[in-house]
Structure 1
Amino acid sequence: MTITAADLVHLQRCVELAREALEDGDEPFGSVLVSGDDAVLFEDRNRVKDGDATRHPEFEISRWSAENLTPDERAAATVYTSGEHCPMCAASHGWVGLGRIVYAASSGQLVSWLEEWGVPPAPVAALPISRVVPGAVVEGPVESFTEIVRSLHRARFPHLR
C-alpha cells in the first residue's frame, strides 16, 4: 500500500466530517473527492438520520461526479472516506467510473466492532469494494486511523456503555 502524506491529510478531513455527522446525530462517515491534481472537488458526510438510507457521502460523491465531471476527470479522481464503501456506494462508484478509493477503516473492521458491541447487523451485507467493483484501485485500511474511527462508531451507541 502506498499511502502518501497528501492521502493522510484527506483521510483526516474524512474523519472530521465523520465527527460532524456524529455530532449532528448521524452515523459517523465522511468522504472527500479529490481531483487528479490534488484539488478538493466535493466533500460530504452521512445524512441518513432522517430516514433516507441512501444519503451516504460516497453515493453523493458519485452523483455529484456524474453531473459535474467528464469521464476522464472521474477516472483520475480519488475518493477518500472514513469507512470502506458499502455495496450500494461501491456500485455507484463503479457505475460512474471514479478512480482510486482510499479508506481509513474497512467494512470488515466495522462489522467486527459492531458484533463486539452487540449491535444488530445492517440490512445489507458488508462486502469488500473489490467484490462489488472488480478491478477497482483500493487502498485501506490505514492503521493510523483505526482507533479514532472505532471510537466514533462506538460513540453512536451510548446506551451500550
Structure 2
Amino acid sequence: MTWYQPTETERGHLRRCVDLAAEALADGDEPFGSVLVSASGEVLFEDRNRVKDGDRTRHPEFEIARWAGTNLSPSERAAATVYTSGEHCAMCSAAHGWAGLGRIVYASSTEQLVGWLRELGVSGASPVRPLAINDVAPDVPVAGPVEEFADEIRELQRTLHTRG
C-alpha cells in the first residue's frame, strides 16, 4: 500500500473527519465523517454518518454533494476539496462526480475497510460492491490513505462491529 503524506493543513482537516467519525459512533451510528473545504481553505460544510434511523443514504459525503449542489456554483464545487475519514463508497463517489466536486483526500481506503471487516468476521456489511472512488468517478483526483489514522479508524470499525 502506498501511503499519502498530507500537508499540515490537510492533516488538520482529516483529524476533524476522524473526530466526526468518532462522534457518529458515540451517537450509535457508523463511524464516518467528512468536511468540504473551499479553494481558499474555508470549511464550508461538515457532517457525519446519520444512517442509524434507517435512511442508508445519509452518508456525510452524499450530504456534502447535496449541499454543494444547492449552495455553490459549478466552479466553486470544482475547486473545493472533500476530506473524509473513509474513502467514498460507490454511491458517494457517484454523487461526488455528478455534483462536479473537486479533489478528495481520505484517511482510510476501501481496501483497508474491506480487510478490517474480513479480520472481524463481518460479511454482508454493505449491499454495494466495495469499489475505489476512481472505479466509479475516474476523473476525480484522489489522495489517500494516510498511515497515521489507520489504527484509530480500524479501532472505530472494531468498536462498531463488536458492540452488543
Same fold per superposition (TM over 0.5): yes
CA displacement, residues 61-107 of structure 1 (integer Å, 9 cap, x when unaligned): 00000000000000000000000000000000000100000000001
Counterparts of 2:39 and 2:7, CA distance in 1:
14
**2:135 corresponds to:** 131
**1:53 corresponds to:** 56
Query: How many residues end up aligned between the 2 structures?
Result: 160
**1:8 corresponds to:** 11
CA displacement, residues 19-47 of structure 1 (integer Å, 9 cap, x when unaligned): 00000000000000000000000000000
Q: Do residues 105 (structure 1) and 103 (structure 2) align?
A: no
Q: Do residues 30 (structure 1) and 38 (structure 2) align?
A: no
- Residue 156 of structure 1 aligns to a residue whose secondary structure is helix
Flag structure 2 segments of 5+ consecutive residues without an equivalent: none
Q: CA deviation at 1:158?
A: 2.6
Q: Do residues 92 (structure 1) and 87 (structure 2) align?
A: no
Q: Larger deviation: 69-78 or 113-122?
A: 113-122
- Counterparts in 2 of 1:53-72, with a 5 A limit? 53-72=56-75
* Pairwise CA RMSD: 1.1
- Residue 149 of structure 1 aligns to a residue whose secondary structure is helix
TM-score (norm 2): 0.95
Q: Do residues 145 (structure 1) and 149 (structure 2) align?
A: yes
Q: Give the ranges of 4+ consecutive aligned residues of structure 1 lying more than 6 Å apart after TM superposition.
A: none
Counterparts of 1:59 and 1:159, CA distance in 2:
26
- Residue 52 of structure 2 aligns to a residue whose secondary structure is coil
Counterparts of 1:16 and 1:136, CA distance in 2:
25
Counterparts of 1:72 and 1:151, CA distance in 2:
38
Contact residue 34 and residue 85 of structure 2 kept, 8 A: yes
Counterparts of 2:135 and 2:129, CA distance in 1:
12
CA displacement, residues 104-137 of structure 1 (integer Å, 9 cap, x when unaligned): 0001100110011111131111100001001210
- Residue 106 of structure 2 aligns to a residue whose secondary structure is strand
- Residue 53 of structure 2 aligns to a residue whose secondary structure is coil
Contact residue 34 and residue 84 of structure 2 kept, 8 A: yes
Q: Do residues 156 (structure 1) and 156 (structure 2) align?
A: no
Flag structure 1 segments of 5+ consecutive residues without an equivalent: none
CA displacement, residues 5-30 of structure 1 (integer Å, 9 cap, x when unaligned): 10000000000000000000000000
